[in-house]
């Protein structure tokens, strides 16, 4: 069972970037997926998630209206489309999977499997 996050990079403020989270060993539509990020010196912050099967999505206030999460079942991949990026979006981004409905969607302890992280740097 493995999650592989990719797509990070160095962009300028206002640019867009798309992160990918590919899974092996299980199907992404059978788990709850969330994207977290961690900036230097800060804790891990949940930014977006997508529910098992029906695919309902949710976002933190800090990214709502700018980020879009989606899932491609054929590719077994979840995406995080990030637009209007700001310097405060700079962080390592992680995808995570929970096999059971999270009681607190932004609590990292609710998620069993984690990708390795991909660095997003937004220059102002």
13-66 pLDDT tens trace: 999 999 999 999 999 999 999 999 999 999 999 999 999 988 899 999 999 999
Average pLDDT score over the chain: 96
pLDDT score recorded for residue 88: 97
pLDDT score recorded for residue 1: 82
Res. 67 pLDDT band, cuts 50 70 90: very high
The answer for residues whose C-beta is within 8 angstroms of residue 65's C-beta and 6 or more apart is: none
pLDDT score recorded for residue 32: 97
Query: Cα–Cα distance between 26 and 18 in angstroms, integer?
Result: 22
């Amino acid at each position: 069972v493995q999650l592989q996050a990719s797509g990070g990079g160095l962009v300028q403020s206002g640019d867009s970037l798309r992160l990918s989270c590919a899974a092996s060993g299980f199907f992404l539509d059978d788990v709850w997926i969330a994207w977290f990020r961690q900036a230097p010196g800060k804790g891990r912050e949940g930014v977006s998630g997508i529910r098992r099967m029906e695919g309902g999505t949710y976002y933190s206030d800090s990214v709502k209206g700018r980020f879009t999460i989606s899932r491609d079942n054929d590719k077994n991949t979840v995406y995080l489309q990030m637009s209007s990026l700001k310097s405060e979006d700079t962080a390592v981004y992680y995808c995570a999977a929970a096999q059971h409905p999270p009681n607190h969607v932004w609590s990292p302890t609710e998620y069993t499997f984690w990708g390795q992280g991909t660095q997003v740097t937004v220059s102002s």
